[in-house]
Structure 1
Amino acid sequence: MLRNVAVPVINTVSPFEFAVACEVFGMDRSDQGVPNFDFAVCSERPGEPVPTAMGFSVATAHGFDRLAEADLIVVPATKPREGPIPDALVRELRAADERGAWIMSLCSGAFTLAKAGLLDGRRATAHWMNAEELAREFPGVKVELDVLYVEDGNIITSAGTAAGIDACLHLVRKELGTRVASMIARRMVVPPQRDGGQRQYVESPVPEVEADSLQPLLEWAVENLTEDLSVQALARRAVMSERTFARRFRAETGATPHTWVTAQRVLLARRLLEDTDASIEQVASRTGLGTAAILRHHFTRLVGTTPQSYRRTFRFAS
């Protein structure tokens, strides 16, 4: 169970990604039923200022030896081209990997993991502006671009900046369930689970579109998942041709309508499996997936386990 979290900071640490780790794992939300984490920030020399990428410094109360007891180590972004990382941090990261602890990098924090040798032969990602550099500097890393985060074994790497939130919430969801992840996301005023990858953020010509934002339609769809949400039906509701609607939908969400709708239905299924005693057939009906067989197919494909197994694991998560 995920309980002990440590964040190592080194020279040129990015304040935003550092704050993401603090916000997700360091805040006391016990009044909302969210379990508290034993959270610590660590540096090579506790008490001494560590320069950030924004010109100010932070000081910590713990050394890197604190990483030895962590269930999860979150490595924030730094300036990718900075020099070698401290030997003590390399030792602790490698030891954590060997014992199977979770290790997560945020944005360009993937360079720290790569320098420690943790990403050799593994799939990983980083900010799209740094992905080519990561692949070039560390040819043993299988760099993926069109993702918000990558989980390979016990190591999770996230794409640029805000994708670190997605990666953190993914791990919370995996370890503590959808309910806890959704409560943290609601408190942070962010979606509990985003679809699509970061390719939608890569600099490219913006396609011409002929409609306002689809956000009202997306909100309606989430509240009406048992309705006909085919491309044809959604396009009619948006008063667009199917072709224009499909193009606009991908431009806004990074996913096809079918992929997005299926993900929303599976997300609702997770909540129902955690919070209700509804049968698998009832869950399938209430999510718009129709039958238990269809629910099992999409649920297993997206979540990596069957609805029954998921319920056994998370039914009483709090």
Structure 2
Amino acid sequence: MSEQPRPHRVAILALPDVIAFELATPSRILESAQLPGGPPLYQVRTCTLDGGPVRTSTDFRISVDHGPELLADADTVVVPASRNLVPALAEGRLPAEIADALALVRPGTRLVSICTGAFVLAAAGLLDGRPATTHWSYTDQFRRLFPKVRLDPDVLFVDDGDVLTSGGVAAGVDLCMHLVRRDHGSGVANLVARRCIVPPWREGGQAQYIDLPVPVTGDEGTAPTRAWALRRLGEPLALRDLAEHAGMSVRTFTRRFRDETGLSPGQWLVRQRAQEARRLLEGSDLTVDRIAREVGFGTAASMRQHLHEALGVAPSTYRRTFRATG
């Protein structure tokens, strides 16, 4: 009989205040991967910085059987989120004990982070010049601390070969499903999806989950015109109309508008119309065609295009995701 290939060795580094869901996700998904009647395709083990118990973000602690030496033998190292991780890395530098643990990782080992675990990889300099993601709510902090990283907060996960990062919570499931699909193909990934009752692939990205901010307006610059436009999103609003309301030339208005919002008037209008469309898809029974007219996209086809560009999903998919049915 031929010798069975050894399973892919995965080490999960549980840092203090580790979030239990993210800690358990790689084990639950990856250890479900096996061919029918065959052995497990992954061996998943957990370690801490000193091999001792570690507190979680909730009301229990976990004990592990391994210390950081486990990292030296791993084919893949996973860093899940921890509740106090971001404050601990407030200056963008790794605490010595985490740096010492990561120094044990062999060159060529695949590195994976879930949610704010990306802060650890970034602080170690492992994401410099590379695309990555993290939980969308930490975008500003991440960019301030790690400007060399090409952060994309809109996606569920980023696969950059030997380094993979995901958004928060359930995006870790998406990333682990992607690892199975990448390593062993869609057939095995679909088996895992059925065993774990999760989608083998999720449409869209984090953009569809980002909270809808209420636009801030004031009484200076172009703010009154922005407030005026928000009350008339369903109407055709030409650049000249906006400039005329502001009492400025088109050129001056465009420059002031971009200085104040970071967007052109056209980009800002599309964004506000998309946000209003999201609100109506979530909270009303209006048809997609009616919503498209109400928010100023004109046609359902136009709204589908803009929402897909902004969120990665169609209006009907967004409504199914965020609108509970009776």
Shorter-chain TM-score range: 0.5 to 0.7
Tell me how far 1:161 sits from its aligned partner. 1.0
Tell me how far 1:45 sits from its aligned partner. 2.0
Picking from 132, 143, 147, the partner of 1:135 is 143
Matched, 1:82 2:88: yes
Distance 2:314 2:187 in 1: 26
Alpha-carbon spacing, 1:248–1:31, altered in 2? closer, same or farther (3 Å): same
Give the alignment's TM-score, normalised by structure 2.
0.62
Alpha-carbon spacing, 1:9–1:87, altered in 2? closer, same or farther (3 Å): same
SS of corresponding position for 2:136: coil
Residue of structure 2 in register with 1:14 after alignment = 19
Query: Percent of aligned positions with the same letter in both sequences?
Result: 36
Tell me how far 1:28 sits from its aligned partner. 7.5
Cα deviation, 1:65-101, whole Å, max 9, x if unaligned, reads 11111111111001321256554542443553x6211
Matched, 1:170 2:178: yes
Alpha-carbon spacing, 1:33–1:182, altered in 2? closer, same or farther (3 Å): farther
Q: Identify the range of structure 1 (107-116 vs 78-87) with the bigger mean alpha-carbon deviation.
A: 78-87
Distance 1:91 1:26 in 2: 28
Give the counterpart letter for 1:20 in structure 2: T
Give the counterpart letter for 2:183 in structure 1: E
Give the counterpart letter for 1:43 in structure 2: T
Picking from 131, 135, 156, the partner of 1:148 is 156
Contact conserved, 1:64 with 1:89, CA < 8 A, in 2? no
Residue of structure 1 in register with 2:125 after alignment = 117
What residue ranges of structure 1 are gaps of 5+ in the alignment?
Answer: 215-240, 258-318
Picking from 24, 31, 50, the partner of 2:29 is 24
Distance 1:181 1:208 in 2: 35
Residue of structure 2 in register with 1:61 after alignment = 65
Kindly tell me the number of residue pairs found equivalent between the two proteins. 232
Cα deviation, 1:208-245, whole Å, max 9, x if unaligned, reads 1366999xxxxxxxxxxxxxxxxxxxxxxxxxx74388
Residue of structure 2 in register with 1:273 after alignment = none
Where has structure 1 moved over 4 Å in runs of 4 or more?
A: 27-34, 83-86, 210-214, 247-253
Alpha-carbon spacing, 1:250–1:213, altered in 2? closer, same or farther (3 Å): farther
Alpha-carbon spacing, 1:117–1:71, altered in 2? closer, same or farther (3 Å): same
Distance 1:23 1:88 in 2: 28
Give the counterpart letter for 1:81 in structure 2: P
SS of corresponding position for 1:156: strand
Distance 2:56 2:94 in 1: 15
Distance 1:127 1:102 in 2: 21
Residue of structure 1 in register with 2:192 after alignment = 184
Alpha-carbon spacing, 1:153–1:248, altered in 2? closer, same or farther (3 Å): closer
Give the counterpart letter for 1:55 in structure 2: D
Matched, 1:70 2:74: yes
SS of corresponding position for 1:246: helix
What residue ranges of structure 2 are gaps of 5+ in the alignment?
Answer: 213-274, 289-298, 316-326
Residue of structure 2 in register with 1:197 after alignment = 205
Cα deviation, 1:90-116, whole Å, max 9, x if unaligned, reads 2443553x6211110000111111122
Matched, 1:44 2:44: no
Give the counterpart letter for 1:58 in structure 2: I
Alpha-carbon spacing, 1:41–1:122, altered in 2? closer, same or farther (3 Å): same
Alpha-carbon spacing, 1:147–1:49, altered in 2? closer, same or farther (3 Å): same
Tell me how far 1:36 sits from its aligned partner. 3.4
Distance 1:182 1:139 in 2: 37
Tell me how far 1:254 sits from its aligned partner. 3.2
Contact conserved, 2:115 with 2:134, CA < 8 A, in 1? yes
Distance 2:125 2:104 in 1: 12
The structure whose Rg is larger is: 2
